[in-house]
């Protein structure tokens, strides 16, 4: 039975002691998801195990599961891996039990030869997850991918823009662009997290908090966390709320073009590219802003990796450590410069209009 979790309804299905969860805005949607998921699990349990099951059926069932539980990008990556393995084996009707560790190793080695060790490791991760799902749901006896070891892989250092380039970007920004950019600089959010913000669910002026949500969970369900707004972000968002161009839209940032008027952004592929070009700086993307935030917190403000991990909401501190690079700048002084260049009047404290926007 769905239950309320903050402002959302959470559907929950427990199978074999394992919990599967997913959040919805409406209780009816959560209940429908529970019914559908239980039916899929029941059918999966009734499906014959690896004896007589061909790889095509096995991979298709897994992809059906992946489409339901993972974001589109992850699902498409898994689909591509299955397609490549089918082509390599050459016989999609081969039984799952006939696929050996040697065959998996040969496939992955071919990927490394045509791509890189990162391709090898990425494909290995998806295939191992698929077989583990088969063990959990279809009672497949073993995972042939487990015996295949990862390739040593040295990650190329990812570019983190210097503070002077961030300032140049902000200097050429139009009003909406500056507010949008500052949402990343003051939260360290992932790209999609700002795109999906709504005024009612994700911005709380009364408590001075914003909500960030990601699907980077084992079952692909949304996981939310409320983050405090600093003074600068509070002013920027309040100003945007008062002067937003599309007042009827529930989303914080939406398109004003004729074709997509009032629709929320999903990628904004040209946004950072265009800003960098106008500012005359080396091109970088949204994720570089997240690395910049991590570097400033760690290097300038001397915060520990554990604290930075908490800000970025990483599950593993080693992921955080890959983000941290040295920057010779003072973030506090930088933000003071921005305030001087973009003076804002003090917004009123919480009144009825703010409470209505936050509720």
| Residue 309 backbone dihedrals phi, psi, to 5 degrees | -55, -40
pLDDT of residue 5 exceeding 80, the answer is no
**Sole residue written with tokens 């250092």:** 157
CB proximity list for 245: less than 8 A, separation 6 or greater: 176, 256
What gap in Å lies between CA 35 and CA 146, rounded to an integer? 33
CATH of 163-358, one of 2.30.30.90, 3.40.30.10, 1.10.443.10, 1.10.10.10: 1.10.443.10
Q: What is the pTM of this model?
A: 0.60
Q: How many CB atoms lie within 10 A of CB 149?
A: 10
CB 236 within 8 A of CB 194: no
User: Average pLDDT, stretch 14-33?
Assistant: 81
CATH of 3-138, one of 1.20.1050.10, 3.30.70.3450, 1.10.150.130, 3.60.20.10: 1.10.150.130
pLDDT value at position 10? Answer: 85
Q: How many CB atoms lie within 10 A of CB 14?
A: 11
pLDDT tens digits along 38-53: 888 777 666 554 456 8
Q: What is the 3-state secondary structure (H, E, C) of 281-340?
A: CCCCCHHHHHHHHHHHHHHHCCCCHHHHHHHHCCCCHHHHHHHCCCCCCCHHHHHHHHHH
What gap in Å lies between CA 186 and CA 277, rounded to an integer? 23
> Where does the pLDDT of residue 68 fall: very low under 50, low under 70, confident under 90, or very high at 90 and above?
confident
Of residues 183 and 357, which shows the higher confidence score? 183
Structure tokens at 24: 């919805």
Largest CA distance in the chain: 71
List the chain domain ranges: 3-138, 163-358
pLDDT tens digits along 227-253: 999 999 999 999 999 999 999 999 999
Pick from 344, 340, 337, 343: which is nearest to 167 by CA? 337
What gap in Å lies between CA 205 and CA 347, rounded to an integer? 11
pLDDT value at position 184? Answer: 94
Q: Which residues pair with 225 in a beta bridge?
A: 212
CB proximity list for 91: less than 8 A, separation 6 or greater: none
Pick from 297, 319, 136: which is nearest to 216 by CA? 319
pLDDT tens digits along 134-186: 999 888 889 999 999 988 866 667 889 999 999 999 999 999 999 999 999 99
Pick from 63, 68, 138: which is nearest to 97 by CA? 138
Question: In sequence order, what E strands does the chain have?
Answer: 3-5, 8-15, 18-24, 203-204, 209-214, 223-228
């Amino acid at each position: 039975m769905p239950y309320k979790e903050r402002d959302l309804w959470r559907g929950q299905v427990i199978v074999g002691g394992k919990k599967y969860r997913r959040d919805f805005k409406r209780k009816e949607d959560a209940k429908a998801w529970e019914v559908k998921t239980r039916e899929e699990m029941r059918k999966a349990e009734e499906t014959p195990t690896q004896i007589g099951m061909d790889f095509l059926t096995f991979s298709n069932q897994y992809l059906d599961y992946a489409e339901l539980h993972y974001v589109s990008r992850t699902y498409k990556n898994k689909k591509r891996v299955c397609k490549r393995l089918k082509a390599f084996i050459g016989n999609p009707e081969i039984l799952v039990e006939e696929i050996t560790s040697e065959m998996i190793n040969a496939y992955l080695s071919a990927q490394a030869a045509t791509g890189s060790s990162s391709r090898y490791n990425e494909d290995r991760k998806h295939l191992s997850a698929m077989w583990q799902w088969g063990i959990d749901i279809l009672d497949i006896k073993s995972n042939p991918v487990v015996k295949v070891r990862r390739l040593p892989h040295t990650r190329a250092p990812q570019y983190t823009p210097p503070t002077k380039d961030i300032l140049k970007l902000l200097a050429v920004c139009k009003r909406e662009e500056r507010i949008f950019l500052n949402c990343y600089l003051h939260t360290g959010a992932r790209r999609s997290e700002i795109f999906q913000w709504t005024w009612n669910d994700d911005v709380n002026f009364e408590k001075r908090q914003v909500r960030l949500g990601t699907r980077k969970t084992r079952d692909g369900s949304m996981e939310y966390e409320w983050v405090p707004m600093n003074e600068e972000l509070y002013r920027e968002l309040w100003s945007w709320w008062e002067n937003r161009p599309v007042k009827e839209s529930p989303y914080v940032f939406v398109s004003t073009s004729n074709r997509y008027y009032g629709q929320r952004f999903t990628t904004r592929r040209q946004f950072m590219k265009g800003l960098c070009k106008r500012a005359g700086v080396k091109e970088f993307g949204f994720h570089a802003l997240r690395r910049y935030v991590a570097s400033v917190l760690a290097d300038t403000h001397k915060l520990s990796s554990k604290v930075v991990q908490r800000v970025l909401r990483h599950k593993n501190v080693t992921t955080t450590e890959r983000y941290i690079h040295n920057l010779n700048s003072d973030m506090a002084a930088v933000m003071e410069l921005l305030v001087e260049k973009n003076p804002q009047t003090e917004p009123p404290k919480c009144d009825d209009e703010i409470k209505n926007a936050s509720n």
